[in-house]
Amino acid sequence: MDRPGFAFELLHVDRHCGARLGRLTTPRGVIDLPAFMPVGTCGTVKGLTFDQVASTGAQIILGNTYHLALRPGAELIAELGGLHRFIGWDKPILTDSGGFQLFSLAQLTKIDERGAVFRSHIDGALLELTPERAVEIQQQLGADIAMVLDHVVPLPSSQEQIADACQRSLRWAARCRAAHTMSAQVQFAIVQGGLNLELRVGCARELAAMDFFGYAIGGLSVGESPREMYDTLAGTCPALPAEKPRYLMGVGRPEDVLEGIRQGIDMFDCVMPTRNGRNASAFTDEGELKLRNAVHRADPRPLQSNMQTPYSNFSRAYLRHLFMANEMLGPILLSYHNLAYYQNLMRDARQAIAADCFLEFQQRRKAGWGLLQDQ
């Protein structure tokens, strides 16, 4: 099926590493790559309006099939004009399939070949999520980019469990591909295989043969070390089609994002900017600042002197005061700052790739964060 209005362009690859400069065009707007997607799991990026989210530089957000299907329900959202209209966001949206939530709520979930049967974490109701149902929900939501349903297992797991989940993910991907009927939406497949590079490469090649619009690497940041994740990326990225967008799911420490970019990843998402912001932690070029610490009590400096946002002039002392006084403005301002910091990081990374100096840029950032040694 043709997908009018969708296109991916690979504009440039850094001469010294795998970092890619790209452009993903959708009917609702262009996404400059590499890109970071703020997470709006339940139809909201916690604590912020979507005007604020857009003003950080975000060009796409992420929503979640599992949570939106449970509450308020995909049918209701479709009746009200789709997810974009429902939440008031007119730019692209990518929806996760719910596979990670089935993993993270494993005590409530039973998985077999047909799909997953689980109990709602809200009211305990017994529900089923199959590949076909995951596709149906994402089409009802009207997402621009939909993910296939995959089977995620924790790390470490036995090689038998990892191989079984990988093969099931391939079969589910084929079923998602067959069930997809919406011309105004594209699908991304998800590569699984744990830390087993043979499984990862085999999975990537089988999915590439199915000719999805884009490809994600899933099942990482689920218990493995950063070094193990980096080695898995190094072995998996070369097996992904160069002419298709690449997405590393749920990975979001700034240093992990930059390493993913170095390996050739185009898209990222993580709850970390807003979750950490709600907990008084700010990302900066000098590392993560814990604003409840007394060292910030009388500090007149802004969080990041070279970053201009509508709220960038507030002092560290004032922001600390808001948290110590349990004022709701504190989490709002730090969530905004962290999202803006990530978007600035992506912008600077794109400029570095265009100038063939991404490795130098990565080293400068790591030095500022105190991460000169590989992790």
- Residue in 191, 176, 314, 325 with CA at minimum distance from that of residue 247: 191
Length of the chain as a residue count: 375
| 3-class SS of residue 54 | helix
Return the CA Rg of the chain: 20
Q: Alpha-carbon dihedral of residues 327, 330, 331, 337, nearest 10 degrees?
A: 170
Residue 90 bears catalytic tag: no
Question: Pick the catalytic residue: 14, 144, 256, 269?
Answer: 269
| 170 vs 179: CA distance, rounded Å | 14
Task: Tally the C-alpha atoms within 13 A of residue 198's C-alpha that lie toward its C-beta.
Answer: 3
DSSP 8-state secondary structure symbol assigned to residue 302: B
Q: Alpha-carbon dihedral of residues 140, 141, 147, 148, nearest 10 degrees?
A: -20
DSSP 8-state secondary structure symbol assigned to residue 108: G
Question: Pick the catalytic residue: 96, 144, 150, 256?
Answer: 96
HEC sequence for 207-263: HHHCCCCEEEECCCCCCCCHHHHHHHHHHHHHHCCCCCCEEECCCCCHHHHHHHHHH
| 299 vs 40: CA distance, rounded Å | 32
| 237 vs 232: CA distance, rounded Å | 8
Backbone angles phi, psi at 362, to 5 degrees: -60, -45
| 303 vs 285: CA distance, rounded Å | 9
Asked if residues 57 and 343 have their Cβ atoms less than 8 Å apart, the reply is yes
Q: How many C-beta atoms surround the C-beta of residue 308 within 10 A?
A: 11
Residue 32 bears catalytic tag: no
| 212 vs 170: CA distance, rounded Å | 12
Burial class (CB in 10 A: 0-12, 13-18, 19+), 190: buried
Q: Which residues are catalytic?
A: 96, 269
